[in-house]
A and B are shown apart, each in its own frame.
Chain A
Amino acid sequence: MGELNQSEASPWALIAPALVLLAAILLLSVPLRLFQGVVPTPILPLAVVFLYGLYDPRSLPAPVVFAGGLLHDLLYGGPIGPWASVYLLGLVLISGQRTYFAGRVRDVVWAGFWVVLLVSMIVLWAEMSLLTGAWLPILPAAGQFAVTGLLYPLCAYAFFALRARAGVREEWQV
């Protein structure tokens, strides 16, 4: 897969992934209220972590993802750790399957994202239930993760467009 050449890349190309992750986290905190608040805000940081973790893991290293997760936790004002663990777990899952996904068609990669979403949702639900001391309903999380999964093609399109601007030539997977 087309990884960015770290020694030749421009400074902008080097910090772009971290900025994209930061923007995605901030966007989650903006009151978008899609369709009068009926549609939950998609968890875009997970898509960012998935796409960079799959196509160019060196440009979004684990410490940056960890810092992004902590920022998310602090911005939400809740317990420290749940979102950091969810993002890093997503990165662990995808980094272990990179060779499998190499060169696969769009739908297979999309299916892989659904698997990452499912695992992340269960982990987040379990952690939040543990922290509140009660079994929380899983439906709110399921709705939000489903919206994220449906928006994956759009995220992937934006990701490859950004990478093309950074000068990375790769086969478009969407």
Chain B
Amino acid sequence: MTSLGYAKRDGLRRREERRYGLIFLTALSFFMVLFSLYGAQASVFEKARESVLDTFAPVLSVVGAPVRWTEARVGDVQDYFRIKAENERLREENAELRTWMHEALTLRSQLAYYETILDTHLPAPAAYVDAAVIGENGGPYQQALILSAGRDDGVRKGSAVVDDEGLLGRIVTAGRGASRVLLLTDYESRTPVFVEGVGAEALLAGRAGGLPVLQFFAEPPADPIEVGTRVVTSGAGGLLPRGIPVGAVAARPDGTLGVALYADLGKADLVRVVDYAFPQEVEEPAAETTISASEVASLGG
């Protein structure tokens, strides 16, 4: 009888302990949310994110393999059914690209000529690191991708990430073998851009859902901005190179100006990380020759 009473009491005590533990951990997690208001970017968290990314990147690759295989097979079947239309589209695109190729070759020779006569040396073009998309944030608010390339491959924090159409976002976490891209649509994303035609610089601010919005540094340009105007990176801040295509100006439902992105964020599977470094070494102009006393006197009149 006594032992039964002890057992019951022991069971109740353990149950109570579990309940208190649950309440304590729930309170702790809410406290961590509040702490994240000020310390989300603390280096200890950043290190933890990198470690988790490196640890789980191989797992994500393996778990995602069947999904990628299925997607590829479904794509093959879809391609088979629209092969005629696709061929026609590719022929037209090829003809258009040939025109652009000739124009690019002409411009390249002109540029080389100007470089020679002006004795100017443009910075070397940016290099690229190819990477596969092995993961993405499946949550409703944080919009990011996980890539299969990291620091060991030359990926650096802040680098731009592009697909074959345009800018996708920038690297926010670079682990050894994997990295995370914050997409342009994420609420935390801010990208300096340049609106061609009107020559206005602005920030492209992500919105959780819907088009990212244009926020002008100063007064919006006096000339009206046409919908469809091309938007490229401005290079302000030195993190991203200037001129990466971003998208076209589009009207948002609330009346503000947004940007319809060229890159297809929902379908990106192979991307390129732009290995760009802002040119730091600027050649100093040759030292001026000293002016003699007689020249100073003659200048003084």
Most buried by A among B19, B28, B33, B267: B33
For chain B, the bracket of interface size reads: 35 or more
Q: How far is the CB of B89 from chain A (nearest CB, A)?
A: 19
- A80–B40 CB distance below 8 A: yes
Docked complex: A103-144 residues within 8 A CB-CB of B? 124, 127-128, 130-132, 134, 136-137, 139-141, 143-144
- B36–A79 CB distance below 8 A: yes
Q: Which residues in B have their C-beta under 8 angstroms from that of A134?
A: 187
- A128–B141 CB distance below 8 A: yes
Docked complex: B115-167 residues within 8 A CB-CB of A? 133-142, 144-146
Interface string of B177-219 (1 = CB under 8 A from A): 0001010000110000000000000000000111000000000
B52 contacts partner chain A, Cβ-Cβ < 8 Å: yes
Specify which of B33, B67, B139 is in contact with A30 (CB 8 Å cutoff): B67
Interface string of A62-75 (1 = CB under 8 A from B): 11011001010011
Complex CA–CA separation, A85 to B187 (angstroms): 21
* Segment of B58-66, B97-105, B230-238 engaged in the interface with chain A: B58-66
Complex CA–CA separation, A136 to B140 (angstroms): 10
Complex CA–CA separation, A140 to B187 (angstroms): 13
Complex CA–CA separation, A137 to B40 (angstroms): 22
Interface size, chain A (Cβ < 8 Å)? 53
Given A27-B63, A31-B67, A76-B137: A81 touches B29 (CB 8 Å cut-off): yes
* Segment of A7-15, A33-41, A152-160, A161-169 engaged in the interface with chain B: A33-41
- B140–A140 CB distance below 8 A: yes
A20 contacts partner chain B, Cβ-Cβ < 8 Å: no
A2 contacts partner chain B, Cβ-Cβ < 8 Å: no
Given A28-B138, A95-B22: A81 touches B71 (CB 8 Å cut-off): no
Given A33-B71, A62-B21, A77-B172: A28 touches B139 (CB 8 Å cut-off): yes
With A43-B138, A66-B29 given, name 5 new contacts (CB 8 A): A30-B63, A31-B134, A79-B33, A80-B32, A132-B141
14 A/B residue pairs, CB under 8 Å, sorted by A: A26-B56, A30-B67, A31-B64, A31-B145, A36-B266, A66-B25, A77-B182, A78-B40, A89-B26, A132-B187, A136-B141, A139-B209, A141-B140, A144-B140
Identify the A interface with B (CB < 8 A). Answer: 26-33, 36-37, 40-41, 43, 57-58, 61-63, 65-66, 69, 71, 74-85, 88-89, 91-92, 95, 124, 127-128, 130-132, 134, 136-137, 139-141, 143-144
